[in-house]
Amino acid sequence: MLSSHFERYIYAVNEEATDVINGSGVTGAYLPELLRLLHSRVIVDAMVETGWEHRAEQLRRFMRSDAWLWDSVPPGALDHEALLTWMTAPTPRNLIRYYRYWEIEDIFRAVTRAPHTRTDLRLKLDELVRKRNNIAHGDPTTEATRIDINAYRDATLRFCVRSDRQLARALVRIVACPSPW
């Protein structure tokens, strides 16, 4: 359950961040390029997989949903779902990738100072996700002890609280607003 709640937290914080962007009235030029590329990826990839003679409707859809990200036109709206279609599980590697889209180069470096603390945090989160996947896929040799669960809970809480602060700071930089949370 902890792993599911952690995954849902990532989705919820993503929704909150896109709501801040959407409510700010900021144009696409102010958003990080990696975020804009990620947002446009879904529709562009679908377009590429379609024969050129059948792309008219997809081009119209791109112009309605994503053109604002790439031109000096009035702001549009980010689709929070488009930003996480690639994430299958909140592994440390995926978390680093996700927060990089918001211009946080390495979320683990941003939330911890000491290398041993950073390593421990990454290991605990990775172990949580890995064990959850093993258990969900029926691996009878995988178990989580009470001590494991307490360590995962502590690591998850520490990560969530600290990454919340980092994402709020990133949003302040991007949209020049007061702290959103």
pLDDT at 112 over 80: yes
Q: What is the mean pLDDT of residues 79-101?
A: 96
Provide the domain limits for residue 66. 2-175
Residue 100 within a domain: yes
Count up the domains in the chain and report the number. Answer: 1
Residue 180 within a domain: no
**What average pLDDT does the chain have?**
93
Confidence of residue 76 (pLDDT cuts 50, 70, 90): very high
| 3-state helix/strand/coil string of the chain | CHHHHHHHHHHHHHHHHHHHHHHHCCCHHHCCHHHHHHHHHHHHHHHHCCCHHHCHHHHHHHHHHCHHHCCCCCCCCCCHHHHCCCCCCCCHHHHHHHHHCCCCCCHHHHHCCCHHHHHHHHHHHHHHHHHHHHHHCCCCCCCCCHHHHHHHHHHHHHHHHHHHHHHHHHHHHHHCCCCCC
Residue 127 within a domain: yes
Dihedral over alpha carbons 161, 162, 167, 168 (to 10 degrees): 70
Residue 95 within a domain: yes
pLDDT tens-place string over residues 9-61: 999 999 999 999 999 999 999 999 999 999 999 899 989 998 888 899 999 99
8 A C-beta contact, residue 125 and residue 96: no
What distance in Å separates the CA atoms of residue 78 and residue 94, rounded to the nearest whole number?
20
Report pTM: 0.91
Residue 181 within a domain: no
Confidence of residue 136 (pLDDT cuts 50, 70, 90): confident
Residue 40 within a domain: yes
Residue 90 within a domain: yes
pLDDT at 91 over 80: yes
Residue 56 within a domain: yes
